[in-house]
Chains A and B, each alone.
Chain A
């Protein structure tokens, strides 16, 4: 496993939609480097024949009846919205300059 670079962290921050200053990127790169190094041994532990566990207690086919239950009203759904208009969430432009 390769070390985590400052460029990696900048790219990851962009993917995760977290704006970061230069100072933050420097600090995060150092901290993540230490953490990633310390967890690298995990890849040695598991050989190919070990199956993966996704959930500790696997349940399958968890269904419910296809009936309409209680749902939030539009008013309830919008009560915490940063901005709204009529019965919809209002957001700034989706695309730059259009």
Chain B
């Protein structure tokens, strides 16, 4: 494997600044890797679109500015020239945005998302758009209309979802950085099952303007990386107030890089870590529980005070989520009607009215999971059921917030396994929606309460990655970076290197790609 692609984003950025590597070489190395492992018969299929020309052009521009020196070079963002992959739910000018749906096949956004404007301003070359479950609805990336993504640890297993493409891309060294979105765990659960790092920021901490909305009271954009420090850099880059998003917090971005650097010492003295009683035990695989217990021991040995906290209302979180999220989905996806943009399908027979065109368009343009959620949401919001369903779910949200408030009186951060299981086999849960929904049982409470969460690699069970999740109070994202970086350091010391060093070697030969 080319050494450039093995560098963390922070390491690569330092080499770019020092002039040891050019950005063009760095981008080309990742494009070569994508050609090698992504597109073949058994390729990872993390990318739906590869943005070769523009990525190389931006890289060449950064190289020219650096070579010329002076104030322009000094004004470059520290990560200028470091390539990044973008979840295909986030709109980009000049590249297609599909949301992994037939509904948006061939659609070109006339505008950039705010996070994309920030990435352009910082001159990070965009490698392309990554695969996801259609409109971010799923936990395995199998609901993509363009075929599933494979887990780099085992090509017959799922990479998690909905952001399986972004997580697999960084795990397979196809990109050092990626953007994800997290509505119920779509950054953190793929991070857990691919052995990578993912962060769901505080609700409102990163602008969602230009992220195709799934459930607006839950959606959040965040970083997908291989190290905690890389996530901190990316989070600071994309974070901050945006007047174009009315839910954006009008507050400065917390000092996340400093927190990650502090955590990297591995010292957890005085940090109270709360173990959530309800997010372990039944339903959690024994191997996941073992890695989780080891992480607790490592934190304790590093000076953390481990306390147990109880969040009794979490047992209602999954149910409430599957009322609130589909309700918002049914409203947000009403705009895909074949009138102003996207696919239009004409009915096969009968009169040609706009209503029948909408019915035929949405029948052909949406996949099964999207239809399920729209119908469920329409049901939950319909007269006679609204109070019992949507109204009750909103009350449960309050109860979950109260549980967190009480827990954070006893602990600075909370901890749990990120996902109850390791990556499962492709196809094993596609016929059982309820079993699929249970993958997010540990990640959903954070979205319901708007608080931030991080997943960091916690080791292997049966040769597959296990994720450890930290949660912090709203606006206290820095605590995640402190604790996450500390655990990363403690475990890597124990393993003698990164978890991804233990991943099987991918090559053109194993994936059917271009050598």
Contacts and interface: CB of A to CB of B under 8 A. Distances in A.
Contacts of B356: 19
A42 B376 contact: no
A85 interface: no
Interface in B7-54: none
Q: Which 6 A-B pairs rank lowest in CB-CB distance, beginning with the nearest? A: A56-B450, A46-B395, A82-B344, A52-B394, A39-B319, A80-B341
Interface residues of A, number: 55
Q: Is the interface of A mostly helix, strand, loop or mixed?
A: loop
Contacts of A36: 376, 379
B247 A59 contact: yes
A31 B433 contact: yes
A9 B358 CA distance: 18
22 contacts: A12-B378, A12-B379, A16-B375, A18-B374, A32-B376, A35-B322, A38-B322, A39-B319, A39-B389, A42-B396, A45-B395, A51-B398, A52-B395, A55-B217, A56-B448, A56-B474, A59-B247, A64-B243, A82-B339, A82-B341, A92-B357, A93-B351
A52 B398 contact: yes
B323 A42 contact: yes
Interface of B: 107-108, 110-111, 202-204, 217-218, 243, 246-247, 249, 313, 315-316, 318-320, 322-323, 330, 337-344, 346-347, 351-360, 362-363, 366, 371-372, 374-376, 378-379, 382, 385, 388-389, 391-399, 401, 433-434, 437, 447-451, 474
A50 B387 CA distance: 13
Contact of B249 (A54, A57, A96): A57
B246 A62 contact: yes
A39 B392 CA distance: 11
B133 to A, nearest CB: 16
Contacts of B340: 77, 80-81, 89
Given A34-B434, A56-B203, A94-B353, A42 B389 contact: yes
Given A17-B355, A80-B107, A32 B372 contact: yes
B397 A53 contact: yes
